[in-house]
Amino acid sequence: MKIVNERMEALGNVRSVIRDLFEYGLQRKKEVGAENVYDYSLGNPSVPAPACVDEAIEDLLQHTDSVQLHGYTSAQGAEDVRQAVAAYVNETFGAGVAAADLYMTCGAAASLTITLHALSTPGDECIAIAPFFPEYRVFAEGAGLKFRVVPADREAFQIDFASLEETVNAHTKALIVNSPNNPSGVVYTRKTLERLCTFLGEKELEYGHPIYLISDEPYRELVYDGQEVPYLPNLYDDTIVCYSFSKSLSLPGDRIGYILVSPKACEHRAVYAAVAGAGRSLGYVCAPAMMQRVIARCLGKTSDLNIYRENRDLLYNALTSYGYEAVYPDGAFYLFVKTPIDDAGAFAERAKAYDLLLVPSDSFGCGGYVRISYCVSTDMIRRSLPAFEKLISEYR
């Protein structure tokens, strides 16, 4: 008998590259001073939550009975909260959803794990499009799905449809899309998404079963030039939206999000029931109750996105002027920069000599780039620019 589950032990022992870099940064800051380390590793919102968040908490504390405020909600979330979210989604996107289509969760990771466990049956496969958030693999494999990757479109970081065509097969149960994208910062265009949805629809007909499109959209509101982020339930019936308020409201620690099973999805009541069952089986009793009520009062609000926009412009303009090549990011708070050598890991290692902490792109399923999280102080970006300039000059 093995003492512990070896997959779990390995997952616990092997920190992600991002976490490792972050921990290195903490150590390095102790050695040379926090102001001399330019930590671009984590996607942790740097802009305070909008005032409505703390105001909602204060108001709830003062005007809600304690037993009610701190008590369980039903497993799928408080009815009034789900009604408020449904109303907001319908007003904003005209999606025609009901409270009964929504399941409140402990954030994006919970939304994804619950959805993947709900859909997974033996032999099923799940596809992600590179570059992608590395935990997708952990979540999909944990749910018993075979994880397949569509290589990146290295020109525009949209979708490489030739590769997608080769990856989809009769076992494909789900495909995860993430736009605005972590790590590229790119927003999939309406044209890309329409082509994707047409393609998937054809494949559903060919294979005779649904292929669910899982739209992981924690960055939906983080776009900077009025760029459209098309709402997938309006383009494709078999869509499941995995949403989180972590980034839009700057409250990642409070763990609050939702799953929306489109009412037009194939067998949508069965999918919803399986979502509820997966939540139960994984130990999610209900999403944090007070935070459910907080987000219901903050729908449509965001933290101050101007700061991220300013950071993006400053960083993108400076880096490209130094000779870096970068994908122009319309959203999220990531800049994806081509490394002047093929080995992104070696480049990121060299960057450490300048105390620039950049995440090599290999764990995102796409070599030859570094991810720069610009959810940091604008001042830190300014101070880091000479280091970026020196770094690239080494490769001229």
Binds a copy of itself (CB under 8 A): choice among 27, 31, 63, 67: 67
Q: Is 332 in the site for a copy of itself (CB under 8 A)?
A: no
CB of 157 to a copy of itself, least distance (A): 26
Q: Is 13 in the site for a copy of itself (CB under 8 A)?
A: yes
List C-alpha distances in Å: 265 to 93, 151, 213, 360. Answer: 17, 27, 10, 37
What is the number of helices (H) and of strands (E) in the chain? 14, 13
Q: Is 146 in the site for a copy of itself (CB under 8 A)?
A: no
Structure-token pair, residue 5: 């589950």
Q: Is 135 in the site for a copy of itself (CB under 8 A)?
A: yes
Asked if the peptide bond before residue 131 counts as cis, ω within 30 degrees of 0, the response is yes
Mask for 290-329, x = binds a copy of itself (CB under 8 A)? xx--------------------------------------
Q: Is 334 in the site for a copy of itself (CB under 8 A)?
A: no
Mask for 339-378, x = binds a copy of itself (CB under 8 A)? ----------------------------------------
CB of 111 to a copy of itself, least distance (A): 8
Beta strand pairing status for 125-129 and 172-177? parallel
Q: What letter represents residue 375's amino acid?
A: C
Q: At what angle are helices 108-119 and 135-142 packed, to 10 degrees?
A: 40
Which residues in the 252-271 window bind a copy of itself by CB under 8 A? Answer: 252-255, 266-267, 270-271
Q: Which stretch, 38-46, 183-191, 316-324, 330-338, contacts a copy of itself (CB under 8 A)?
A: 38-46
Considering beta carbons, is residue 36 or 377 the nearer one to a copy of itself? 377
Binds a copy of itself (CB under 8 A): choice among 117, 247, 312, 350: 117
Which segments of 286-374 are extended strands (E)? 325-326, 334-338, 356-357, 359-360, 369-373
Q: Is 288 in the site for a copy of itself (CB under 8 A)?
A: yes
Binds a copy of itself (CB under 8 A): choice among 285, 341, 346, 353: 285
35 conformational bin, left if phi > 0, alpha if psi -120 to 50, beta if neither? alpha
Q: What letter represents residue 4's amino acid?
A: V
Q: Is 396 in the site for a copy of itself (CB under 8 A)?
A: no
Which residues in the 204-223 window bind a copy of itself by CB under 8 A? Answer: 207, 209-210
Mask for 155-194, x = binds a copy of itself (CB under 8 A)? ---------------xx-x---------------------
Q: Is 273 in the site for a copy of itself (CB under 8 A)?
A: yes
Structure-token pair, residue 268: 């949508």
Identify the three-state secondary structure at position 313: helix
Identify the three-state secondary structure at position 72: coil
Q: Is 32 in the site for a copy of itself (CB under 8 A)?
A: no
Q: What is the DSSP letter of 322?
A: H
Total interface residues for a copy of itself by CB under 8 A: 87
Place of tokens 């399941």: 103
Sequential DSSP letters for 2-38:
-SS-HHHHHHHHS--HHHHHHHHHHHHHHHH-GGG-E
Q: Is 27 in the site for a copy of itself (CB under 8 A)?
A: no
Considering beta carbons, is residue 24 or 161 the nearer one to a copy of itself? 24
Contact (CB, 8 A) for 166 and 175: no
